């Protein structure tokens, strides 16, 4: 482990407001800075900003030159108020054999990334889709060797029921006879393990790869499984979050899957954009609610996916209808047509409208979502899954069947 401390220039006054603005600018610089052909964001295992000082824990490829990196980052970050950079650098060990000295237990998040010295980009080229150079486009990303379709489920804002919808769609796709995996990438509120009733099950490591948890037949991996209760990801900033999520995607031994459904963090910021640019996605599903503000945010989601050339498979309007728990009468209490409006405006299909029903909430709360319980709401999700299936093949990327693992 090397420890580099470099003073760039002398002090400059900084207000809290400036600091907040600079945090975002610093994130952008880190996301854009590449070591070899890979963003340094994917190599950050720890990041702390204190005033004009930035501390980065980095796991760099063995042949990289930390001093040059520090110098270049210093120049790029100096205009954004960073005067001192501390870099704690681990260089990846050279690849030897098949990597037999493995941790028996799943390490905690920070350790998981820091200790896996052999898990560099170099040592995993056999299973990782390549991360391409700056401004990667979907067309330049190789399809995942074992996954036919990757679907991201996104929402413009939090709390619209994205995770509830994701878990039920995943179960519905499985119900239709598919092999399905779920990646819970919602760093702000990872909820898949609880919703699937496997919150106590920790994923294992095998040959330096995460092994997804079997959750009612779904291959599930959640960023939440890698966290301690005191190590909440809420405070994670862009590059660290992006790095951790890319690691989950790249370093997981996904079985052969027809669908990997990714529960994205809500919003349309840097993290979402970076993931959308680095993971070979077949299509996106956008979850919204009928309220005006949620619809506006959903529009931003559609625009983000359009920019990154990810086809939008459609919009799901959640909590669109209310089903009375006494008489089971269903009506659109928030008004009608929100999801339809977006669908029309952006030429994307409306995949379905879901009721606001306490039963839907109660089922995910007890770890047995509606589709699993086969309750009265299951058919709504099955219809959405059928609509996804009906559309998806025209967006599929070719799978390289000749690849050997």
Does an H or E element contain 283, and which?
strand 283-288
Shortest gap between Cβ of 272 and ligand ATP (angstroms)?
Answer: 12
- Burial class of residue 169 in the structure, from the number of CB atoms within 10 Å of its CB (0-12 exposed, 13-18 middle, 19+ buried): buried
Beta bridge partners of 209: 206
Does an H or E element contain 180, and which?
strand 180-184
Kindly state whether residue 353 participates in binding ligand ATP, applying the rule CB under 6 A: no
Are the C-beta atoms of residues 218 and 92 closer than 8 Å to each other? no
Shortest gap between Cβ of 164 and ligand ATP (angstroms)?
Answer: 3
Q: Nearer to ligand ATP by C-beta: 155 or 387?
A: 155
Q: Which residue from 270, 263, 282 is spatially nearest to 242, judged by alpha carbons?
A: 270
Kindly state whether residue 191 participates in binding ligand ATP, applying the rule CB under 6 A: yes
Kindly state whether residue 186 participates in binding ligand ATP, applying the rule CB under 6 A: yes
Draw the binding track, 222-261, toward ligand ATP (x: CB under 6 A; -: no contact).
----------------------------------------
| Binding test (CB under 6 A) with ligand ATP, winner from 52, 274, 318, 387 | 318
173: Cβ contacts below 8 Å, ≥ 6 apart: 180, 258, 259, 261, 385, 388, 389
Q: Which stretch binds ligand ATP (CB under 6 A): 53-61, 116-124, 185-193, 274-282?
A: 185-193
DSSP 378-394: HHHHHHHHHHHHHHHGG
Kindly state whether residue 266 participates in binding ligand ATP, applying the rule CB under 6 A: yes
Residues touching ligand ATP, count (CB under 6 A): 20
131 secondary structure, DSSP code: P
Of how many residues is the chain composed? 405
Kindly state whether residue 354 participates in binding ligand ATP, applying the rule CB under 6 A: yes
Shortest gap between Cβ of 300 and ligand ATP (angstroms)?
Answer: 15
- Kindly report the backbone phi and psi dihedral angles of residue 352, in degrees, each rounded to the nearest multiple of 5, phi listed first: 170, 160
Kindly state whether residue 272 participates in binding ligand ATP, applying the rule CB under 6 A: no
Query: From the annotation, which residues make up the binding site for ATP?
Result: 156-163
Shortest gap between Cβ of 295 and ligand ATP (angstroms)?
Answer: 14
Are the C-beta atoms of residues 173 and 311 closer than 8 Å to each other? no
Q: Which stretch binds ligand ATP (CB under 6 A): 33-41, 50-58, 119-127, 162-170?
A: 162-170
Kindly state whether residue 159 participates in binding ligand ATP, applying the rule CB under 6 A: yes
| Binding test (CB under 6 A) with ligand ATP, winner from 161, 193, 238, 280 | 161
Shortest gap between Cβ of 360 and ligand ATP (angstroms)?
Answer: 4
| Binding test (CB under 6 A) with ligand ATP, winner from 183, 319, 372, 378 | 319
Strands, E, within 51-139: which ranges?
53-60, 84-91
398 secondary structure, DSSP code: P
Q: Nearer to ligand ATP by C-beta: 161 or 243?
A: 161
Give ∠ CA 265-270-273 in degrees, rounded to 5: 75
Cα distances from 26 to residues 9, 21, 208, 271, 342, in angstroms, run 17, 9, 31, 14, 34
Q: Nearer to ligand ATP by C-beta: 20 or 234?
A: 234
| Binding test (CB under 6 A) with ligand ATP, winner from 202, 361, 366, 403 | 361
Three-state DSSP class for residue 273? helix
| Binding test (CB under 6 A) with ligand ATP, winner from 77, 357, 372, 385 | 357
Distance, CA of 194 to CA of 230 (rounded, Å): 18
Query: From the annotation, which residues make up the binding site?
Result: 156-163
Find tokens 């909590």 and name the residue.
Answer: 319
Residues in touch with ligand ATP (CB under 6 A): 155, 158-164, 186, 189, 191, 266, 318-319, 354, 356-357, 360-361, 364
């Amino acid at each position: 482990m090397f420890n580099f401390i470099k003073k760039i220039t002398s002090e400059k006054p900084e207000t809290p407001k400036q600091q907040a603005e600079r945090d975002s600018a610093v994130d952008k610089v880190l996301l854009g800075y590449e070591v070899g052909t890979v963003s340094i964001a994917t190599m950050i295992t720890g990041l702390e900003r204190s005033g004009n000082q930035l501390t980065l824990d980095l796991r760099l490829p063995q042949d990289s030159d930390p001093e040059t990196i520090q110098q270049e980052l210093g120049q790029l970050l100096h205009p954004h108020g960073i005067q001192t950079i501390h870099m704690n650098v681990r260089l990846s060990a050279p690849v030897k054999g098949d990597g037999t000295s493995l941790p028996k237990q799943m390490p905690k998040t920070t350790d998981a990334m820091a200790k896996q010295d052999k898990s560099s980009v170099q040592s995993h080229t056999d299973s990782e889709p390549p991360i391409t150079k700056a401004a990667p486009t979907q067309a330049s990303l190789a399809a995942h060797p074992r996954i036919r379709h990757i679907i991201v489920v996104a929402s413009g804002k939090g709390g619209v029921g994205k995770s509830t919808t994701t878990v039920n769609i995943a179960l519905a796709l499985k119900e239709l006879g598919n092999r399905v995996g779920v990646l819970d990438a919602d760093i702000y509120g990872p909820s898949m393990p609880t919703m699937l009733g496997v919150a106590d099950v920790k994923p294992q490591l095998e040959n330096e790869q995460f092994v997804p948890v079997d959750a009612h037949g779904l291959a599930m991996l959640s960023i939440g499984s890698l966290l301690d209760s005191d190590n909440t990801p809420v405070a994670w900033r862009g590059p660290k979050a992006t790095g951790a999520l890319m690691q989950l995607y790249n370093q997981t031994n996904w079985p052969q899957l027809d669908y990997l459904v990714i529960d994205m963090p809500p919003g349309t910021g840097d993290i979402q954009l970076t993931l959308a640019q680095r993971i070979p996605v077949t299509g996106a599903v956008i979850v919204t609610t009928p309220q005006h503000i949620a619809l506006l945010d959903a529009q931003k989601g559609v625009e983000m996916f359009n920019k990154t050339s990810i086809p939008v498979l459609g919009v799901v309007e959640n909590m669109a209808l209310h089903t009375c728990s006494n008489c089971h009468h269903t009506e659109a209490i928030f008004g009608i047509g929100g999801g339809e409006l977006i669908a029309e405006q952006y030429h994307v299909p409306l995949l379905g409208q879901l009721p606001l029903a306490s039963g839907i909430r109660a089922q995910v709360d007890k770890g047995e979502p509606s589709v699993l319980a086969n309750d009265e709401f299951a058919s709504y999700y099955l219809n959405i899954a059928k609509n996804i299936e009906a559309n998806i093949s025209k967006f599929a990327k070719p799978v390289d069947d000749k690849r050997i693992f």
